[in-house]
Homo-oligomer: A and B are copies of this chain.
């Protein structure tokens, strides 16, 4: 069911400092910061030959990653994202198997402009897992 590893997201408090680590220390190519007020984050993508790292920092008062960066002030892996062909079919299969889909269970348009769902970390090896229909 799952396809490509679309990205690994690392949440940080200080996006400029995080960009410096990946651009200068690790010598990677980064996109410009993209504020996404509707998602409460500002994101930068580290463009790797086969996948991406999504660096994200809280934006605004009600950021969904605010508590994560409080608990992990130095940053940390926030989620992994796998591509699926049909997110509704994927969701229904997962729910039928007892896995918990976060939120309303309806896909929303994610940071990449594609339908996404998040799966409960307790059902996926302690790892917040995003599915993105591509």
Contact = CB atoms under 8 A, between A and B. Distances in A.
A24 B126 CA distance: 17
Interface stretch (A34-42, A43-51, A58-66, A102-110): A43-51
Contacts of A5: 5, 8, 48, 50-51, 53
15 contacts: A2-B27, A8-B77, A8-B80, A10-B127, A12-B125, A12-B126, A24-B97, A25-B124, A27-B93, A51-B51, A55-B125, A72-B126, A75-B126, A76-B126, A77-B80
Given A94-B25, A99-B25, A3 B48 contact: yes
Contacts of A26: 1-2, 82, 124
